[in-house]
Amino acid sequence: MWCPICRKELDVNSTNCPECGSRLKKNPPDSTLVEWVLSIKDKLTDDWPYFENGEPEKAIFLAHYSSVNMEDMLIINKLTAYGIPLIKTHPETGSVGKIILGISGFGTDIYVPESLLEDAKALLEDTADD
């Protein structure tokens, strides 16, 4: 497990990052918003893979990234450039900050189609080496 803010490797049982002190979430992100987004067939989901019956492929949580230094936008742009569709959400009250300040103080949760999860992880590993 890694701290979403400073990227320090953490013990699985950690509740706070010993490096930067950020509070760590124990529960996986709420996927209700993601399911709602996928239920609306518009430009946002045009690139999302759909099954033959018209149902969207399941969205899988990929990672949480900080908005500090636009880290989340860099990752989003890289995934998009490689043709991996994604859904981004801003946890807690981060959506309000995104609208008012242009950045989310709580970072961004990124979801990708289940069939592209391993490809997305491989791209992110390449990013970590940069």
Query: Which tops the pLDDT comparison, 86 or 34?
Result: 86
User: What pTM, to 2 d.p., does this model score?
Assistant: 0.65
Give the pLDDT of residue 5.
Answer: 64
Does the pLDDT value for residue 30 go beyond 60?
no
User: In whole angstroms, what is the distance from residue 114 CA to residue 58 CA?
Assistant: 6
**Mean pLDDT to the nearest integer, 2-6:** 65
8 A C-beta contact, residue 12 and residue 20: no
5/19 Cα distance (integer angstroms): 10
Highest mean pLDDT pick, 9-23, 35-49, 92-106: 9-23
Q: In the numeric block, which tokens belong to residue 125? A: 């590993």
d(CA 64, CA 55): 26
Average pLDDT over the chain reads: 75
What secondary structure does DSSP assign to 105-122, as a single string?
TT-EEEEEEGGGHHHHHH
**Residue 121 amino acid letter:** K
Residue 18 to residue 109: CA distance in whole angstroms: 22
Residue 42 pLDDT grade (very low, low, confident, very high; cuts 50, 70, 90): low
Q: Which one has a higher pLDDT value, 25 or 111?
A: 111
Rg of the chain's alpha carbons, rounded to an integer?
15
